[in-house]
Structure 1
Amino acid sequence: MKIRLVNQGIFTTIDDINTALIPPTEGFYWIDADVDDLAVLQPVFALHDLAVEDCLSEEEQRPKIEIHEGHYFIVINSIRFDDEEIFLRALNIFLGRHYIITVTKQKINELRSLKPVLWEEEVTRPDRFLYHLVDLVVDNYFLVGDRIEARIESLEEDILMHTKKSHLTEIIGLRSEILWLRKVLGPQKDVIFTLNKKDLKLIDDQLQKYFSDIYENAVKIAETFETYRDLMGNLREAYQSSLANRANEIMRVFTALTTIFMPLTFITGIYGMNFDYIPGLHLRGGSYILLFIMLFLGFGMFYIFRKKDWL
């Protein structure tokens, strides 16, 4: 657990947790904690039991905002994409009048990226801290969206060039991840809408207007992932179409080869009959002439098929 006094973006480390109980003359306290620290934080800041229980729960938490006496409890999801799977990491936030507590189970990149933003913007209020944090989280969805789009384009190119059975597994896996993510984006969008529209005493009225910009971005993200869902459906159709075309190509080759060998089989069938008198049967060099005719027919038909682009 790290306790910092933040004033105009400048951080001062605090050692005693009880110091954070008293509102500072300037600035606010930022407490960066993990779930194990809640046992200490809950009695000190009178954190609501249900909010603490949600933080400790092993089940995946939906984005939400709860208004408790003296503080708000906000859950938003940070996103990460490693080209194979989408990961969502819950970011639990307790917002008070002179403090903000962030509780996580894993490392959140947005918290590390937030420090230079706070310094540049000279942040002195916890609600502005919340605004910049939510803004970074939402912006990261755009970055992940760009990587997913690039992955879809790469997968589409691979399917059109070299269709493999493994492509279907990738399509199904990525599509299920996108569908799962769409379910999360809805509640998260509602949380940002609440921060934008609802009368919240711990958030400055002027600052709420800035949340409208984040809400617009959240709407764009939801629409973008809706498009990705449609693209994955098109990608699956392209995979099936590519397999069908490949099967047709194989059948066309087999059909052409069968057609080429049909007259050759016809000739060998005639001269394989058990008649005493067959024209050219006793002709000197007749077998060579027959082989030449068969080769001529075979290569001639092959040439005709190639010229007509049947092979």
Structure 2
Amino acid sequence: MKIRLVNQGVFTPIEDISTTLVAPAQGFYWIDADIDDLSVLQPLFALHDLAVEDCLSEEEQRPKIEIYEGHYFIVINSIRFDDEEIFLRALNIFLGRHFILTVTKTKINELRSLKPLLWEEEVTRPDRFLYHLVDLVVDNYFLVGDRIEARIEALEEDILMHTKKSHLNEIIGLRSEILWLKKMLGPQRDVIGTLNKKDLRLIDDQLQKYFGDIHENAVKITETFETYRDLMGNLREAYQSSLSNRANEIMRVFTAITVIFMPLTFLTGVYGMNIDYLPGAHIHGASYVLLSVMAVLGFGMLWVFRKKDWL
């Protein structure tokens, strides 16, 4: 657990946590904690039992905002994409009048990226801290969205050039990830909408307008991933179409081979019969003539097929 006094973007480490119970003369306290630290933080800041229970739950938390006496409890999801799987990590936030608690199970990159931004903006209020944190989380969805789009385009090109059975598993896996993520985007958009529209006494009225800009971005993200879902459907159709085209090409080759060998088989069948009287059967060198006729016939039919673009 790290305790800092934040004043005009300057961080001052605090050793004694009891100091944070009283509002500082200037600035606010930021406590960056782990799940295990809640046993200490709950009695000190009178955190609601239901909020603490949500933090400790092993199940995935849907984004939400709960209004309690003395503090707000906000859950938003940070996103990460490693080209194969999408990861959402819950960021639990307790917002008070003179403090903000961030409680996570794993490290959140946005919390590390936030520090220089707070210094640059000279942040002195916890609600302003909340605004910049939510803005960073939402902006990261755009970056992940760009990577997912690039992955879809690369997969589409690979399918059209070299269709493999493994492509179907990739399509199904990525589509499932996108559908699952889309279910989480709706509640997160609504949470940001609440920060924008609802009368919240711990958030400055002027600052709520800025949350409106984040809400617009959250709506765009939701629409973007809706588009990705449709693209995955088109990608699956392209995969099926590519397989069908490949099968048709193979059948065309097999059909051409069969047609070419039909007259050759006929000739070998006729002159392979055990009959004494066949035209030219007893002529010296007749076998070479027959082989030449068969070769000319085979290559001639192949030339005709290529000329008509049947092969």
* TM-score normalised according to structure 2 size: 0.99
- State the AA in 1 paired with 2:166: S
Aligned to 2:201: 201
Following superposition of structure 1 onto structure 2, how do residues 73-222 of structure 1 map, counting pairs within 5 Å? 73-222=73-222
Shift of the alpha carbon at 1:274? 2.4
User: Distance between the aligned counterparts of 1:183 and 1:281, measured in 2?
Assistant: 80
Aligned to 1:232: 232
Aligned to 1:39: 39
Q: Can you give the 5+ residue segments of structure 1 that lack an aligned partner in the other structure?
A: none
Divergent runs of 4+, >6 A: none
Shift of the alpha carbon at 1:307? 1.5
User: Distance between the aligned counterparts of 1:252 and 1:299, measured in 2?
Assistant: 17
Following superposition of structure 1 onto structure 2, how do residues 44-83 of structure 1 map, counting pairs within 5 Å? 44-83=44-83
CA deviations on 1:37-74 (whole Å, 9 max, x unpaired) are: 00000000000000001000101000000000000000
Aligned to 1:259: 259
User: Distance between the aligned counterparts of 1:308 and 1:8, measured in 2?
Assistant: 78
User: Distance between the aligned counterparts of 1:41 and 1:276, measured in 2?
Assistant: 108
Shift of the alpha carbon at 1:175? 0.1
User: Distance between the aligned counterparts of 1:276 and 1:117, measured in 2?
Assistant: 101
* TM-score normalised according to structure 1 size: 0.99
Shift of the alpha carbon at 1:198? 0.2
- State the AA in 1 paired with 2:91: L
Aligned to 1:298: 298
SS in 2 for 1:289: helix
Aligned to 1:21: 21
SS in 2 for 1:288: helix
Q: RMSD between aligned alpha carbons?
A: 0.5
Shift of the alpha carbon at 1:275? 2.1
User: Distance between the aligned counterparts of 2:87 and 2:214, measured in 1?
Assistant: 21
User: Distance between the aligned counterparts of 1:104 and 1:273, measured in 2?
Assistant: 86
Q: Number of aligned pairs?
A: 311
CA deviations on 1:138-161 (whole Å, 9 max, x unpaired) are: 000000000000000000000000
User: Distance between the aligned counterparts of 2:276 and 2:251, measured in 1?
Assistant: 41
SS in 1 for 2:280: coil
- State the AA in 2 paired with 1:37: D
Asked if 1:12 corresponds to 2:12, the answer is: yes
SS in 2 for 1:33: strand
- State the AA in 1 paired with 2:63: P
User: Distance between the aligned counterparts of 1:298 and 1:189, measured in 2?
Assistant: 68
Shift of the alpha carbon at 1:224? 0.1
User: Distance between the aligned counterparts of 2:276 and 2:187, measured in 1?
Assistant: 91
User: Distance between the aligned counterparts of 1:70 and 1:240, measured in 2?
Assistant: 57
